[in-house]
Structure 1
């Protein structure tokens, strides 16, 4: 038995790997590097009908990093430095499948963010609870090979990130938050991905690979978010009749923000995260899941706040 990627996906993986190895101006040093929780893409449910996913994510960034190194306290400017950012997100996704090939989804995040830094020797802070940028997407998938031992499925996603989040949040003193901290980017983005998954019956093992791209299309009010690309590799295997073990490797790189209101010298980077998790079936139509995301490698441009870990807890149901 052999496991082969389709030629189109193998070529895409080689292209991405080459870009990841040679570009030094992109990643998640200062933002979420999320695990892949697209259960439809991973083959959990493919039937016609509605599906809903509700997820909570949390990230505490309180470690300053420059390049791949931690920044020592003695090297910090006491009159101007980042302190910490705590971000909590509640992400709701509604998905409808017309058949085993076509489906569409809409995603809306609600963001609770606290940020603190020192500016001109005076502490400054922001705390807001706002909706972020919504996403809409269309997916097509099809069987690429099917035998007694293996089932291989490939698919494509295409969608848009919409400028639904606010970009004018201020703190109690009326100071406008930096654009990168705002709940919305202000611009529209093109979302693209390609994936392949395979189920190996003798091992009761599923694995997948997905390439992702978030490509900002315009500059709004002097700001354009950096381009993001990612590669997710995942394994899942039943541990009991109700519990499934999950493991992912998540690679991301993020380009520098651009525009008069951006800070290109302190934005973007690249990262690799290992994300173990479990999924538990609590009802015939419902499952709950959790992931912890641990950094294996982080590189950031300039000085940026990074985190020791992130986690996500969620539930998905179909109806």
Structure 2
């Protein structure tokens, strides 16, 4: 397999609820499956990624429902997420890498508030910095026999995003739709890659866990864990095909300002993608997530697909 020398990210897609927990909608997390196959890069690397996710389908459990079936005073209509990520990584030793991810959230949310029988549309638009992530990765340079490599990761999600955003009428948005959670979260993970002689490319798997360490202003987001497994397939001298399956589980939110009955979910998705090594130091990539199973707690907004494109540049 050729050295691709890129950093690829997977979207950890978390939809919000259709009652009030309507939108902790896009939790982007570093997947690091490609780093598993290529090792830690010495020196600096900068990368950027654009992400798109539209949540406009109400779901109860595994069943799609229409707004007419919702009898509460609060009807969720849509949450549109267009996010940008800026990442900076530094390989300071042969086996060690530290990275910082800073997200920028462009999020539009719309719901209907039924006030004494009168439907009142309420909308929010956010253009804000979200919660930053700081991660440390250990990946031994020396591989095991038969092309097996592995890594371990740990870090923190920091409370850098706003939690009290308002609309033009001065109404504060639900906590789950805010750009930040207000909490510091522990991030843990690990991965394994294997390049069998009988197959082209590499097989990979990755496990991540995120759990909040505190509560902020009566809100604590649910813990989440995800598993990714897939196959990196060389297509040509510079082009790779990425075939991936993801499993995500999110616990329900807690606190007096949370909606525990309408938050938390389990999702399975297939994620095909392409990565192209433009040069030795510059790579571009794209990914498309297609959910094949979604089960939500209570009633929530869900999505049909999500897309991301990005680039990675090594500065050495």
Normalised by the length of structure 1, the TM-score is 0.87
Q: Which residue of 2 aligns with 1:138?
A: 136
Paired residue for 1:95, among 89, 97, 103?
Answer: 89
Question: 1:41-190 maps to which residues of 2 (within 5 A)?
Answer: 41-44=35-38, 46-77=40-71, 79-120=73-114, 121-142=119-140, 145-147=143-145, 150-190=146-186
Q: 5+ unaligned residues in a row in structure 2: which ranges?
A: 1-12, 17-24
In 1, Cα distance between equivalents of 2:126 and 2:29: 24
Question: 1:214-225 maps to which residues of 2 (within 5 A)?
Answer: 214-225=210-221
Q: For 1:102-144, what per-residue CA distance to the aligned partner results, in whole angstroms no more than 9, with x for missing partners?
A: 1100000000000000012200000010000001011111267
Paired residue for 1:282, among 266, 278, 285?
Answer: 278
In 1, Cα distance between equivalents of 2:138 and 2:30: 18
Does structure 1 residue 196 correspond to structure 2 residue 192?
A: yes
Deviation at 1:99, TM superposition (A): 3.1
Q: Which residue of 1 aligns with 2:9?
A: none
Q: Which residue of 2 aligns with 1:293?
A: 289
In 1, Cα distance between equivalents of 2:29 and 2:61: 23
In 2, Cα distance between equivalents of 1:189 and 1:111: 19
Q: After TM superposition, what 4+ stretches of structure 1 lie above 4 angstroms from structure 2? A: 33-37
Deviation at 1:98, TM superposition (A): 2.0
Measured at CA, do residues 201 and 316 of structure 1 come closer, stay the same or move farther in structure 2, by a change above 3 Å? farther
Q: For 1:187-210, what per-residue CA distance to the aligned partner results, in whole angstroms no more than 9, with x for missing partners?
A: 100000011111235533111111
SS of the residue aligned with 1:230? strand
In 1, Cα distance between equivalents of 2:72 and 2:252: 26
In 1, Cα distance between equivalents of 2:67 and 2:157: 38
In 2, Cα distance between equivalents of 1:248 and 1:300: 22
In 2, Cα distance between equivalents of 1:153 and 1:54: 26
Range with bigger deviation, 191-200 or 62-71: 191-200
Q: For 1:139-171, what per-residue CA distance to the aligned partner results, in whole angstroms no more than 9, with x for missing partners?
A: 111267544xx3111111010000000111000
Provide the alpha-carbon RMSD of the alignment. Answer: 1.8
Paired residue for 1:270, among 266, 269, 273?
Answer: 266
Range with bigger deviation, 138-147 or 271-280: 138-147
Q: For 1:251-295, what per-residue CA distance to the aligned partner results, in whole angstroms no more than 9, with x for missing partners?
A: 111111000100011111110010001001112211100000000
In 1, Cα distance between equivalents of 2:51 and 2:86: 11
Q: Which residue of 2 aligns with 1:206?
A: 202
Q: Which residue of 1 aligns with 2:228?
A: 232
Deviation at 1:247, TM superposition (A): 1.0
Q: Which residue of 2 aligns with 1:315?
A: 311
In 1, Cα distance between equivalents of 2:196 and 2:27: 28
